[in-house]
Amino acid sequence: MTLKTHNHKDELRDVALKATPARMAILDFLEKEHRPVDVPALLSYLTKSDIDIDQATVYRILDKFYKGNIIKRLEFQEGKFRYEITHTDDHHHLICEQCGAIEDISDCGIEVLEKEINKKKKFLVKRHSLEFFGVCAVCQR
């Protein structure tokens, strides 16, 4: 998974949001993490970064980022959302049902299927989501 060139301040300005320390820290964390993260992970990072913020504010920030298409909101049948930066290459996820590990996978050949759908069904795919649920190598031991 690779990140496309961007600037957090420009992203925020484009959706009429100020570049506050909390917003910048959340975007920095999501960009550094190479997996979707949940709110407790974000709160832990913000606390360690000496940013005083409550959970409700984090949810409000994430909602604004989601509505502004800065982040993706993912749900892996856990009863909660996870978040990741939008400007990553298309990729999918492997989710371990035993330990909860999440791994990105980008070479699954979905583009061929999208072209087939477009050709046979005359349906233009604009986006897709694909998750694989199973047991990771560590849990199989």
Domains and CATH numbers, the chain: 8-85 (1.10.10.10), 92-140 (3.30.1490.190)
Q: What is the pLDDT of residue 1?
A: 45
Q: What is the pLDDT of residue 3?
A: 47
pLDDT bin (cut points 50, 70, 90) of residue 2 is: very low
Task: Please say if the pLDDT value at position 39 is more than 90.
Answer: yes
Look up residue 88 and give its two tokens: 């990553």
Average pLDDT over residues 115-135: 86
Q: What's the CA gap between 61 and 127, in Å, rounded?
A: 24
- Name the burial class of residue 73, with classes exposed (0-12), middle (13-18) and buried (19+) by CB atoms within 10 angstroms of its CB: middle
Q: What is the pLDDT of residue 89?
A: 66
Specify the pTM: 0.74
Task: Please say if the pLDDT value at position 5 is more than 70.
Answer: no
Contact 91, 106 (CB under 8 A): yes
